[in-house]
Amino acid sequence: MILPGSASQDLAAALAAELDEPLAAVEYDRFADGEQIVRVPESADRAVVVASTVSDAAHVQLLQLQDAARQQADEVVTVLPYMGYARQDEPFEEGQPVSARAMAKAISTGTDRVLTVNPHEDAVCDFFDAPCESVDAAGRLAEPLPDLTRPLFLSPDAGAIDLAETVRDAYGAGETDYFEKHRVSDTEVEIQPSDADTTGRDVVLVDDIIATGSTMSSAIAQLSGPSHIFVTCIHPMLAASARTKLANAGVDAVYGTDTIERAVSAVSAAPAIAEHL
């Protein structure tokens, strides 16, 4: 059975359909003091908990779902479509935790296996005590793209060039390139232009996540005379005013997957996840 976290119900339903497994009608509630509670009303041989940890509350709910699942199933698999805190994979200043490791250790206690979709670095899997695999859903981002003129697939930094290449390969045509990025602060980045000529071309920007939108909007500011600009990402977090920043930057369309369920979640990561289940 598939057990959805409350923030991952679309993806869980898509995964249940993909695998032809029952979708459990989990009950989510809160006590008067604000503490969360869940109820898993069914049992099965295997429980697949599908929960993006998009907030601290979602982290708590995931641990609760795992614990309830353990009592209702022989095997518990945890799917983290989006793993929160994964970008905190080192202490940035002395005295800080490796938050990704802390989360991974907590999540490992309640599961037999973990799958996570396009984490910021695949190495985050090493933090889990349970076996962990990274799922690549990037190819799906080509699906909503229209017919493109002289397409150029650009990543905002060298670390995301593999994603841009995967989307280009799935689209079936076009060049790839990347920008040089320097992060100034949590909300500010400096981007150096790529060598590629963007004049009159349809540009597709590809990244693992859009959080504040600073990276994408800074990259767009470096484009010279593009015909159209499409922004794609695996995880459309789109925090605060990110969507507005992108609109004001002149983006024609934004596409993401349903690892984080937003209006721009044009494609599902379910088929890619199902291949690992």
From CA 147, how far away is CA 101, in angstroms rounded? Answer: 42
Q: Is 89 in the site for ligand R5P (CB under 6 A)?
A: no
Span of 23-31, 58-66, 104-112, 155-163 interacting with ligand R5P by CB under 6 A: 155-163
| Helix 56-72 and helix 99-108, axial crossing angle in degrees, nearest 10 | 20
Span of 8-16, 49-57, 206-214, 222-230 interacting with ligand R5P by CB under 6 A: 206-214
C-beta separation of 36 from 29 below 8 A: yes
Q: Is 116 in the site for ligand R5P (CB under 6 A)?
A: no
As measured in angstroms, the least distance from the Cβ of 17 to ligand R5P is 30
Of 73, 135, 167, 210, the residue at the interface with ligand R5P (CB under 6 A) is: 210
Q: Which of residues 14-53 bind ligand R5P (CB under 6 A)?
A: none
- CA within 13 Å, CB half, 58: 20
Q: Which of 52, 56, 28, 54 is nearest to 40 (CA)?
A: 28
Residue with smaller CB distance to ligand R5P, 2 or 164: 164
3-class DSSP state for residue 79? strand
Q: Is 160 in the site for ligand R5P (CB under 6 A)?
A: yes
Q: Which residues are registered as beta bridge partners of 17?
A: none
Q: Is 181 a catalytic residue?
A: yes
As measured in angstroms, the least distance from the Cβ of 213 to ligand R5P is 5
From CA 210, how far away is CA 242, in angstroms rounded? Answer: 8
Q: Tokens at residue 159, please? A: 């670390």
Q: Are strands 152-155 and 132-135 parallel, antiparallel or unpaired?
A: unpaired
Of 212, 232, 265, 268, the residue at the interface with ligand R5P (CB under 6 A) is: 212
From CA 9, how far away is CA 127, in angstroms rounded? Answer: 26
C-beta separation of 30 from 36 below 8 A: yes
As measured in angstroms, the least distance from the Cβ of 114 to ligand R5P is 21
Span of 76-84, 169-177, 193-201, 209-217 interacting with ligand R5P by CB under 6 A: 209-217
Q: Is 213 in the site for ligand R5P (CB under 6 A)?
A: yes
Residue with smaller CB distance to ligand R5P, 50 or 191: 191
As measured in angstroms, the least distance from the Cβ of 147 to ligand R5P is 27
Of 64, 194, 215, 232, the residue at the interface with ligand R5P (CB under 6 A) is: 215
From CA 276, how far away is CA 254, in angstroms rounded? Answer: 27
Backbone angles phi, psi at 203, to 5 degrees: -105, 130
Residue with smaller CB distance to ligand R5P, 26 or 234: 234
The count of chain residues that interact with ligand R5P, using the rule CB under 6 A, is 16
C-beta separation of 108 from 128 below 8 A: yes
Of 208, 257, 268, 273, the residue at the interface with ligand R5P (CB under 6 A) is: 208
Q: Is 202 in the site for ligand R5P (CB under 6 A)?
A: no
